[in-house]
Amino acid sequence: MLVTYQSIEHRSSRRRFLQVSAAALGSVLLPSASFGQAKISTTDLGGATLFQGAGCNVVALPEPDGALMIDGGLAANADALLAAVKTATHTTRINTLINTHWHPEQVGANEAVGRAGGVIFAHEKTKTYLSNAVYSALFKGRRRALPEPARPTKTIRGDGSMEFAGQKIDYGYMPAAHTDSDIYIHFPQMNLIVVGGVVSGEEWPLLDYRNGAWLGGRVRAVEHLADVVKPDTRVVPANGRVMTGAEVVRQRDMYQTLFKTMIGYLNMGLGPEDAVVKNPLKQYTPQFGDPSAFTYGALKSMMIAYVPD
């Protein structure tokens, strides 16, 4: 059977796969500080602070009843990160911790925040993954279930909004984009969006194809982000520097082209190893590094997601 863009889109939607530069403009780099073993750097984003060095990019906002924190780094760096967040936001506690997805680099502070009475906010699939032992295409071995206090206490299924520190915060679900539980957090008043592991300005965000992610989900997610952002929107990925909305639009075009190329590979009967040899992303190597692992996973994910009738 000939594989086409439309046939993959139709079949995959039935399986729910298709639901749905330096620091950014105006940012100020603040001095790095050592908290415990980790060296955490902070960048003022104008109303929010970016923390780097804990295992992933973390964003926090102050509020009298405690800070809002997006992602939590690795567990080994949790104490250092929480100390840095409290210092920078002039708060004594974390009111709400948002997990953009369930990978260990995002949830390392969950247990400390949960035991202290903070709310842990995430997609309901993140709670499922954190409540069970999980294998992944992106790390070796099995990640054990987190203890009850480390699991999300407020979960969502789709898009919505909330208020914090007097401003509206929009959030959106990006199915099958990096994991199958990815969400973004958008602060329209600050022209700032936190997108987790879906894009990066410095590396290839891999697809966790063992846990629902596939290239079609990545394409749809970046298409949606491109519609949300403005050219000068500050975009905080899970790793690396702050990006701009204009960069997200360029990545949308790149992923759309790659998706069509991969359909061609499927129609030729090629496998992931063949795709790596053909290297359709070689022109982006100077910017993002060797694309071999991403290319392999991209075609592998399409072979898993596409099920002929």
Q: Please report, for the domain that includes residue 140, its CATH number.
A: 3.60.15.10
Cβ–Cβ < 8 Å for 204, 293: yes
**Does the pLDDT at position 26 exceed 70?**
no
**Does the pLDDT at position 7 exceed 50?**
no
At 195, list the tokens: 């997108």
Q: Which amino acid makes up residue 39? A: K
Place 14 in a pLDDT band, splitting at 50, 70 and 90.
very low
At 116, list the tokens: 């202290």
**Does the pLDDT at position 297 exceed 50?**
yes
Cβ-in-10-Å burial (0-12, 13-18, 19+) of 135 comes to exposed
Alpha carbon separation from 259 to 3, 177, 255, 265 (Å, rounded): 12, 13, 6, 10
Rounded CA-CA distance 298/300 in Å is: 5
pLDDT value, residue 9: 47
Count of CA atoms in the C-beta half-sphere (13 A) of 106:
30
Residue 194: in which H helix or E strand, if any?
Answer: strand 192-196
What residues are paired with 15 via a beta bridge? none
Rounded CA-CA distance 61/82 in Å is: 13
**Does the pLDDT at position 142 exceed 50?**
yes
Count of CA atoms in the C-beta half-sphere (13 A) of 281:
28
Number of compact structural domains in the chain: 1
**Does the pLDDT at position 309 exceed 70?**
no
Query: Which domain does 98 fall in, by range?
Result: 5-305
**Does the pLDDT at position 163 exceed 50?**
yes
Alpha carbon separation from 26 to 46, 47, 170, 188, 190 (Å, rounded): 8, 11, 22, 15, 11
Nearest to 195 by CA among 210, 206, 180, 185: 185
pLDDT value, residue 306: 72
pLDDT value, residue 275: 98
Query: Which one is predicted more confidently, 115 or 38?
Result: 115
Q: Which amino acid makes up residue 304? A: I
* Average of per-residue pLDDT values in the chain: 90
Rounded CA-CA distance 104/98 in Å is: 14
pLDDT value, residue 33: 53
pLDDT value, residue 305: 85
pLDDT value, residue 124: 98
